[in-house]
A and B are shown apart, each in its own frame.
Chain A
Amino acid sequence: MSEPLLVVDRVTRRFGGLLAVNAASLSAQQGRITALIGPNGAGKTTLFAMISGFIPASEGIIRFAGEDIGGEPPHRLARRGIARTFQIVQPFAGLSVCENILVGAHLHHRAREAALAAAEAVGRKVGLGDLLERAADTLTVAGRKRLELARALAISPRLLLLDEVLAGLNPSEIRDFVPVIRGLCDEGITIIMIEHVMQAVMSLAEHVFVLAEGRVIADGTPAQVAADPLVIEAYLGHGAAAKLRASHAG
Chain B
Amino acid sequence: MKELTPIAAVLTVLAAVPLFVHSNTTLNFLVIALMIALAGQGWNVLGGYGGQYSFGHAAFFGTGAYVTAVLQVRYGINAWLGFVAGIAAGAALGGVIGALTFRSGLRGSYFALVTLAFAEVLRIVASVAPITGAGVGTLMTLELGLHALQFESRAAFYWVILTLVGASLIIVHFIERSRFGVWLVAVRENEDAAQALGVDARKIKTIAMTISGAITAAAGCFYAQYFLFVDSGIAYGTWISIEALLTPIIGGVGTVFGPLLGALVVKSLGEGAKLVTGDVPGLDLIVYGAVLVLVIAFAPRGLIGGLYQAGRYLRRLAVSPTIPLRKVRS
What is A's interface to B at a CB cutoff of 8 Å?
Answer: 52, 54, 73-75, 78-79, 83-84, 86, 90-95, 99, 102-104, 106-107, 110, 112, 115, 151-152, 154-155
Residues of chain B from 146 to 204 with CB closer than 8 A to chain A in the complex = 177-179, 182-183, 185-186, 189-190, 192-201
A103–B197 Cα distance when bound, in Å, is 7
Q: Are B179 and A106 within 8 A (Cβ)? A: yes
- Give every chain A residue within 8 A of B200 (Cβ-Cβ): 73, 75
- Give every chain A residue within 8 A of B189 (Cβ-Cβ): 92-95
Q: Are A78 and B197 within 8 A (Cβ)? A: yes
- B135 CB → nearest A CB, Å: 46
A183–B186 Cα distance when bound, in Å, is 28
Number of interface residues of B (CB under 8 A): 19
What is B's interface to A at a CB cutoff of 8 Å?
Answer: 177-179, 182-183, 185-186, 189-190, 192-201
Apart from the given pairs A75-B198, A155-B197, 4 other A-B contacts in the complex at a CB distance below 8 Å: A74-B195, A75-B195, A103-B186, A103-B197
Contact with B192, one of A54, A94, A102 (Cβ below 8 angstroms) = A54
- Give every chain A residue within 8 A of B199 (Cβ-Cβ): 75, 103
- A243 CB → nearest B CB, Å: 43
A78–B196 Cα distance when bound, in Å, is 6
Q: Are B190 and A52 within 8 A (Cβ)? A: no
A155–B60 Cα distance when bound, in Å, is 36
- Give every chain B residue within 8 A of A154 (Cβ-Cβ): 197
Q: Are B190 and A92 within 8 A (Cβ)? A: yes
Known: A92-B185, A95-B189. A104 touches B197 (CB 8 A): yes
- B302 CB → nearest A CB, Å: 13
- Give every chain B residue within 8 A of A84 (Cβ-Cβ): 196
Q: Are B183 and A103 within 8 A (Cβ)? A: yes
A214–B83 Cα distance when bound, in Å, is 61
Known: A92-B185, A99-B182, A112-B177. A107 touches B197 (CB 8 A): yes
- A163 CB → nearest B CB, Å: 11
Q: Are B195 and A103 within 8 A (Cβ)? A: no
- Give every chain B residue within 8 A of A74 (Cβ-Cβ): 192, 195-196
A100–B186 Cα distance when bound, in Å, is 8
- B307 CB → nearest A CB, Å: 18
Q: Which one of B182, B183, B185 has the highest number of Cβ atoms from chain A below 10 Å of its Cβ?
A: B182
Name the residue on A nearest B179 (C-beta).
A106
Can you list 7 A-B contacts (CB < 8 A)? A54-B195, A90-B190, A92-B194, A94-B185, A95-B189, A103-B186, A107-B198
A146–B178 Cα distance when bound, in Å, is 25
- A150 CB → nearest B CB, Å: 11
- A34 CB → nearest B CB, Å: 19
Name the residue on B nearest A89 (C-beta).
B193
Q: Which one of A54, A90, A93, A106 has the highest number of Cβ atoms from chain B below 10 Å of its Cβ?
A: A106
- A50 CB → nearest B CB, Å: 14
Q: Are B195 and A73 within 8 A (Cβ)? A: yes
Q: Are B197 and A151 within 8 A (Cβ)? A: yes
Name the residue on B nearest A106 (C-beta).
B179
Q: Are A79 and B179 within 8 A (Cβ)? A: no
Name the residue on A nearest B192 (C-beta).
A90
9 A-B pairs with least C-beta separation:
A78-B198, A92-B189, A90-B193, A107-B198, A103-B186, A74-B195, A104-B197, A106-B179, A75-B200
Name the residue on A nearest B189 (C-beta).
A92
A115–B182 Cα distance when bound, in Å, is 11
Q: Are A112 and B198 within 8 A (Cβ)? A: no
- Give every chain B residue within 8 A of A112 (Cβ-Cβ): 177-179
Q: Are B196 and A86 within 8 A (Cβ)? A: yes
Name the residue on B nearest A154 (C-beta).
B197
A165–B319 Cα distance when bound, in Å, is 41
Name the residue on B nearest A104 (C-beta).
B197
A156–B179 Cα distance when bound, in Å, is 17
- B194 CB → nearest A CB, Å: 7
- Give every chain A residue within 8 A of B178 (Cβ-Cβ): 112
- Give every chain A residue within 8 A of B190 (Cβ-Cβ): 90-93
Q: Are A83 and B179 within 8 A (Cβ)? A: no
Known: A78-B195, A154-B197. A92 touches B179 (CB 8 A): no
- B221 CB → nearest A CB, Å: 32
- B3 CB → nearest A CB, Å: 11
- Give every chain B residue within 8 A of A94 (Cβ-Cβ): 185, 189
A94–B194 Cα distance when bound, in Å, is 14
A90–B196 Cα distance when bound, in Å, is 11
- Give every chain A residue within 8 A of B177 (Cβ-Cβ): 112
Name the residue on A nearest B177 (C-beta).
A112
A84–B185 Cα distance when bound, in Å, is 20
Name the residue on B nearest A53 (C-beta).
B195
- B305 CB → nearest A CB, Å: 11
A124–B200 Cα distance when bound, in Å, is 27
- B45 CB → nearest A CB, Å: 17
- Give every chain A residue within 8 A of B183 (Cβ-Cβ): 103, 106
- B217 CB → nearest A CB, Å: 28
Name the residue on B nearest A92 (C-beta).
B189
- Give every chain A residue within 8 A of B179 (Cβ-Cβ): 106, 110, 112, 115
Name the residue on A nearest B301 (C-beta).
A94
Contact with B193, one of A73, A86, A99, A106 (Cβ below 8 angstroms) = A86
A52–B198 Cα distance when bound, in Å, is 11
Q: Are A151 and B195 within 8 A (Cβ)? A: no
Known: A112-B177, A151-B193. A79 touches B198 (CB 8 A): yes
